[in-house]
Structure formats: C-alpha cells, structure tokens
Amino acid sequence: EALRHIVGTQFRNCATVGGSLFGRFGFSDVLTLFLGLDTFVELYPTGIITIGEFAKMQPDDSILTKIFVKKDQGKTAYLSARNTSTDFPLAACCVSWRKGTLTVSMGARPAKAAAFSRENVCLEDLKKEDFLEEFARDAAASVNFGSNRRASAEYRHYVTKVLIKRCCGSIKKGDR
C-alpha cells in the first residue's frame, strides 16, 4: 500500500528501497513506512542502528549495506494524502501496533519522517473515539509541519490527524 502510489510504474521499477531510504527525503513514502515498522539498518563503517537514529543523521559518506525488518510486526496500516494519485504525498502516516505499543510515523511534512509512540495500548483502546482523538492530537502535536506549494502547515496538521485515526481504524478492524 505504501509503495503503490509512487510516481508511476516506470519510475517505481527503477527505484530501490536502499536508495529511497538513504536519501532520507521529506516526501519519502518508504522512509515513513520503515520508520513505523521495527526496522534497523546496517551502515558501513557505523554498524547496525535503528531506522529512527538513521533518519535523524545528517548525510555523510556511510554506505547503507543492509535493511533489517523484524518478522513479527503486529498490525500495521499506511495511508497518504496526495493532490493527484501519482503526485508526491502532502501528508503520510504509518501506524503500527506491536506488543502493546502504538507507533505512528508521520512523513511528507515536508521534512523527514518522524515517529511518536504510546505504550500500554490494547486493541480495545482503538475502538474508543476519545482515545483515537487524543492519540492523533498528541502525535500530530509532536512534530512541526511545514508549508510549501503543495499544502500549508495547518492543512497538513489536520490531514495527518485524520490519517492517523483512519489507520487506527484499519488496525482495529484487521483490514491491514
């Protein structure tokens, strides 16, 4: 789902996961997705680090050699909002629930994706509208949204809260 909307078939067939991650682009669907999952990268000469640490790093001369995605990912949903179907996203989010921890990564802000987590969350909590509203509000408030020609910061903030609630709804129903 996260990769389906990337520009078009021809471009998608030429792009690589490693290249998309290593660029740490603000519009990256790939970085937003992997930040929401329990993912690690191996850099030469640095070694193995979490994708969250990697996303915060400044570009350097490191070489991305491997990407590790743990097999037990729990439940995950990804959604993005775009002006047209193959355009860059104006807001993107990945929500995952694993072992009582609810994590959301928010991308296309237009800055690098950033994550927000809450522990001790059960799947029953995702059925409560007040919990969803509070979680979406707190997650969106944890990052700064920027404006550009695609969307204003206020619009991105609003859309991100909607996407977070929709992803949580997909997880509680087991759609994704």
57, 93, 141, 173 from 112: Cα distances, Å: 11, 12, 16, 29
168: its two tokens: 């949580």
176: pLDDT confidence band, cut at 50, 70 and 90?
very low
23: its two tokens: 């660029």
46, 102, 109, 141 from 123: Cα distances, Å: 37, 9, 28, 23
67, 96, 132, 149, 156 from 135: Cα distances, Å: 29, 13, 5, 28, 16
Cα of first residue to Cα of last residue in the chain, in angstroms, is 9
Q: How many other CB atoms are there within 10 angstroms of residue 63's CB atom?
A: 11
110: pLDDT confidence band, cut at 50, 70 and 90?
confident
Q: How far apart are CA 87 and CA 8, in angstroms?
A: 9
14: pLDDT confidence band, cut at 50, 70 and 90?
low
Q: How far apart are CA 113 and CA 48, in angstroms?
A: 20
pTM of the model: 0.87
Task: Read off the pLDDT of each residue in 53-71 and give the average, rounded to a whole number.
Answer: 91
